[in-house]
């Protein structure tokens, strides 16, 4: 499909600078722009590319002021990145979508499948499963007994939903993600071995959650592990049993959250954050990359980094001290030597 600059500007409520009749049919990065494509500029680091950009249309923020001539037609919007997301969503929604159940899928006679759902080859749907309208289950997904999936759920290939787990509406799970695997529960015995503690709970994922590839959310020992609405989980994340993730929290790759920890609303966890078990993290907390969290965070809306987690300003000052440790060590050794020399003279 082709769209003119005028159509795009009308849809976004933007202002056109250039030819309103120019047409685009796809997207491109601003540094690799080609005629007939739409690019965007929101990060000032990429401003240099707009002056040589061959894209037909570029979305820019309203405060952008070109210093040189720009060949592309510009559309000024409040937020170029958000506007790009709206356009990409519109294009994605208009792509033709498959419907129906493949004869190569296994669907239990006791399962309920909503209207316009797509069940790909080699999907397994167990007894008592409920799947809402417009769901899309790609090849090799496994939905075990008693699980419930809401409307407009998309599961990419190889997703596993264990028994009795509950998934809300408009969720997207990427390939290899596992929802409801056993929590890490073992009781030590007198002889040094471990007895497995059966994990009798489930996982509840609320609406509008996206979970990345190869991310695992463990079922609760008792009760539920809960992922609240609007949460976004990156690839390769471990969420342990009985954890609760608050609304609209985002977590980056290789983060691990230990059992029974409660994460507040609108938190941001950067890559490789590690959080100990049985903690409470206040709303709006931001953890920088590789932060270690051994105790609860009670004050909301802090930015923390390091191990143990400290306020960002403290972390930066400590980093300077750490960087200067070799020189500080040498200064201490020199002072010790001078003190020893003075003591020897006094003797």
CATH label of the domain that carries residue 294: 2.160.10.10
The verdict on 22 and 143 lying in the same domain is no
Which pTM value belongs to this model?
A: 0.88
Query: Where a domain ends, among 93, 108, 138?
Result: 93
For residues 12 and 85, what is the distance between their CA atoms, to the nearest angstrom?
Answer: 11
The verdict on 259 and 333 lying in the same domain is no
How many distinct structural domains can be found in the chain?
A: 3
The verdict on 276 and 301 lying in the same domain is yes
The verdict on 187 and 302 lying in the same domain is yes
The verdict on 48 and 126 lying in the same domain is no
pLDDT of residue 246: 98
The verdict on 178 and 83 lying in the same domain is no
The tokens of 36 are what?
A: 């007939």
Are 126 and 145 contacting, i.e. CB atoms less than 8 angstroms apart?
yes
Q: How confident is the model over 315-346, as pLDDT tens digits?
A: 999 999 989 999 999 999 999 999 999 999 88
The verdict on 75 and 130 lying in the same domain is no
The verdict on 163 and 264 lying in the same domain is yes
Strands ordered across the beta sheet of 160-161: 106-107, 124-125, 142-143, 160-161, 178-181, 216-218, 238-239, 256-257, 274-275, 292-293
C-alpha to C-alpha distances, 141 to 80, 132, 273, nearest whole angstrom: 36, 16, 29
Are 45 and 65 contacting, i.e. CB atoms less than 8 angstroms apart?
no
Query: Where a domain ends, among 34, 62, 93?
Result: 93
Residue 126: what are its φ and ψ, rounded to 5°?
A: -85, -175
| Confidence grade of residue 260 (pLDDT, cut at 50, 70, 90) | very high
Q: Cis bond leading into 241, ω under 30°?
A: no
| Confidence grade of residue 96 (pLDDT, cut at 50, 70, 90) | confident
Q: How confident is the model over 199-258, as pLDDT tens digits?
A: 999 999 999 999 999 999 999 999 999 999 999 999 999 999 999 999 999 999 999 999
pLDDT of residue 93: 82
For residues 147 and 143, what is the distance between their CA atoms, to the nearest angstrom?
Answer: 7
Are 51 and 30 contacting, i.e. CB atoms less than 8 angstroms apart?
no
Mean pLDDT of the chain, nearest integer: 96
Which residues, 6 or more positions from 4, have their beta carbon under 8 angstroms from its beta carbon? 20, 21, 22, 23
| Confidence grade of residue 92 (pLDDT, cut at 50, 70, 90) | confident
| Catalytic residue IDs | 241
The verdict on 324 and 308 lying in the same domain is no
Structural domain range at position 330: 315-346
CATH code for position 82? 3.40.1390.10
């Amino acid at each position: 499909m082709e769209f003119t600059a005028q159509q795009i500007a009308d849809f976004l409520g933007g202002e056109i600078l250039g030819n309103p009749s120019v047409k685009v049919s796809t997207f491109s990065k601003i540094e690799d722009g080609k005629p007939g494509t739409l690019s965007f500029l929101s990060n000032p680091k990429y401003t240099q590319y707009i002056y040589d950009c061959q894209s037909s249309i570029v979305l820019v923020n309203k405060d952008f002021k070109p210093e040189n001539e720009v060949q592309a037609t510009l559309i000024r919007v409040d937020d170029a990145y958000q506007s790009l997301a709206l356009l990409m969503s519109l294009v994605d929604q208009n792509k033709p979508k498959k419907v129906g159940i493949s004869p190569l899928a296994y669907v239990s006679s006791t399962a309920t499948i909503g209207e316009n759902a797509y069940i790909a080859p080699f999907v397994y749907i167990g007894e008592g499963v409920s799947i809402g309208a417009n769901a899309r289950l790609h090849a090799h997904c496994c939905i075990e007994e008693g699980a419930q999936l809401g409307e407009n759920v998309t599961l990419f290939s190889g997703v596993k939903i264990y028994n009795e787990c509950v998934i809300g509406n408009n969720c997207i799970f990427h390939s290899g993600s596992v929802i409801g695997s056993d929590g890490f529960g073992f009781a030590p015995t007198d002889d040094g071995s471990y007895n497995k503690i059966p994990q009798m709970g489930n996982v509840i994922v609320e609406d509008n959650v996206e979970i990345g590839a190869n991310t695992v959310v463990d079922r609760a020992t008792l009760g539920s592990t809960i992922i609240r609405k609007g949460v976004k989980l990156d690839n390769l994340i471990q969420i342990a049993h009985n954890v609760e993730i608050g609304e609209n929290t985002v977590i980056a790759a290789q983060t691990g959250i230990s059992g029974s920890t409660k994460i507040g609303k609108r938190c941001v966890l950067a890559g490789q954050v590690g959080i100990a078990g049985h903690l409470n993290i206040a709303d709006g907390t931001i953890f920088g990359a590789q932060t270690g969290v051994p105790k609860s965070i009670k004050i909301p809306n802090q930015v923390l980094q390091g191990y143990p987690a400290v306020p960002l300003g403290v972390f930066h000052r400590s980093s300077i001290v750490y960087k200067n440790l070799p020189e500080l060590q040498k200064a201490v050794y020199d002072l010790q030597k001078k003190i020893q020399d003075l003591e020897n003279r006094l003797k």
